[in-house]
Amino acid sequence: MIFAIAVAFFALAVDASAQHSLKLKGNPTPLSGTVLSADGRNIQFQTQAGKVGYPLQNVETVTMPAPAEVAQAQQAMLAGDNVKALQLSLSISEKYKGLPADWAKLATSTTANLLITNGDLEKAETAYKEIEALYPGAGGLQSKVGLARIAVAKKDYTAARDVLVPITEEALKEKNVSRDNFAYSQAFFALGQVYEADGKLQDALENYLRTVTLFFQDPAARAEAQKRADALRAQNKDKPASEQVTVP
């Protein structure tokens, strides 16, 4: 499974030298060239006529292959090398800050998540607030879930639960809920941590498995949820059948 996840993200990192395109709002014809960088406010774009800058708020879409560092960061996380993963994701999130591309959003989210994993909660909180500013809408949900994850790290399970339960309940109700937002996989995983801390192991297992099977867009969350689910089963395998956690 981990191999399959890694392959999926390596598929993002195709020929990085391929030509890019940029579509401005109100302009039906995409511009061809090369995306050089973005700083959260403007994008630098190289065309045959030279380098030109555009406000990100005027950019509708950007088409370009994901830099190799995106998949490398995911692979490093799956290998347990969070230091390398953070360095790689940070390099991408800083170079392409606010770029309207799925892989750029992933790198930004990955950076914030790894800051939590590495115990740098203050920087993580700042990163999540920046995500909300850079990506209105989906970024707001990501920020909410991220701040709830910080609450889990601080063992403030009540605060985390208050945020996560409504989000996960709504996700389960909506048949067509967007699974492109990495916030959902992290929300179910974090809620699993809350229930595990509360001793509600069956509820914890169910939420971990939802991250693994239903809301699996974040490969790091999926891998960690699988580990926690396996650990719960292993811890309870010798208990009476009535006390064991089971697959829903």
Provide the 3-class DSSP secondary structure of residue 131: helix
Which pLDDT does position 216 carry in this prediction? Answer: 78
C-alpha distance from residue 140 to each of 71, 143, 191 (Å): 24, 5, 18
Q: What is the pLDDT of residue 135?
A: 87
Q: Name all domains of the chain by residue range, CATH numbers in brackets.
A: 2-18+65-237 (1.25.40.10)
Residue pair 34/22 in contact by the 8 Å Cβ criterion: no
Look at residue 2 in the predicted model and tell me its pLDDT. Answer: 40
pLDDT at 246: 60
Which tokens is 95 given? 């170079």
Write out residues in the chain with pLDDT < 50, as ranges. 1-17
CA nearest to 87, candidates 69, 100, 109, 103: 69
- pTM of the model as a whole: 0.75
Alpha-carbon dihedral angle through residues 17, 27, 70, 168, given to the nearest 10 degrees: -160
Closest CA to 9 of 88, 124, 94: 88
